[in-house]
Amino acid sequence: MTTPSYAELVTAVRREGEGLLAAASLGSDADVPTCEAWSMSDLVIHTADVYRYAAMIVSNRLVEQPDERPGVPEGEPIDVYRDALDEVVAALQDAEPDTSAWNWTAGEPHVAAFWARRMAHESSVHRFDAQTAHGVVQPIDAELAEDGIDELVDVIAPRVYHRDSVIGPTGTIVLASSDSETWNLELLTDGVRRIDPPSSPDAAVTGTTSTLLLACYGRVPWTALAVTGDEELLTAWTGSLNF
């Protein structure tokens, strides 16, 4: 499993961010069914806030957690979002992969490459959210989605379990991509770990890498994939990952 290059990730931020913008421009009052209780305006303002936070950290070469977020300025949500996308892309382009940049993990390097990766996946999933609101969904690129699952397992899940004191369901699952890799995972009450292929997993899932990633984030139901075994285990796991 190979992480895309820094340049590829920055390109993905721009591409996926523009895709979100295009979908949002179809109507900012639309409800976003994959983000409960959010309108399109809520989605673009949320994403703009995340972009501006990442841009502040990277552009200022921060090595410690900032005391506060920059927030978003007043204005039309679409315009605020467009400016924030330009801001984060510019910040990442002006940095090198190993440029110092604080992040909230204990184990990942505190460098700009972390934020390029995080913003690429933030953008791709929220682009899907925005497209879902208008029925114009497109899959996530397989290579990007593959790295997205890696990030979810190795970075996001530990963050959520620790932050929210999650007591998760337990069992073994296999996520088998039809166009990429296979992830063999053990779900623990306090985290997720990679394991050797289990002889008899509690649940095995097959589908495209894009659909697997979106199911892990609760954007599509597990019934959208081929599931063998305990589907309730999968649903309980993704229900505990509120990120």
Q: What is the pLDDT of residues 164-221, one digit of tens each?
A: 999 999 999 999 999 989 999 999 999 999 999 999 999 999 999 999 999 999 999 9
* DSSP element (H, E) containing 232: helix 231-240
pTM: 0.96
Read off the pLDDT band of 3 (50, 70, 90).
confident
Structural domains of the chain, with CATH: 6-133 (1.20.120.450), 142-240 (3.30.1050.10)
Beta bridge mates, 192? 187
CA distances from 211 to 40, 91, 180, 229 (A): 22, 30, 12, 18
DSSP lists the bridge partners of residue 187 as 171, 192
What pLDDT, on the 0 to 100 scale, is given for residue 1? 64
% of the chain exceeding 70 in pLDDT:
100
Radius of gyration for the chain, computed over Cα atoms and rounded to the nearest angstrom:
18
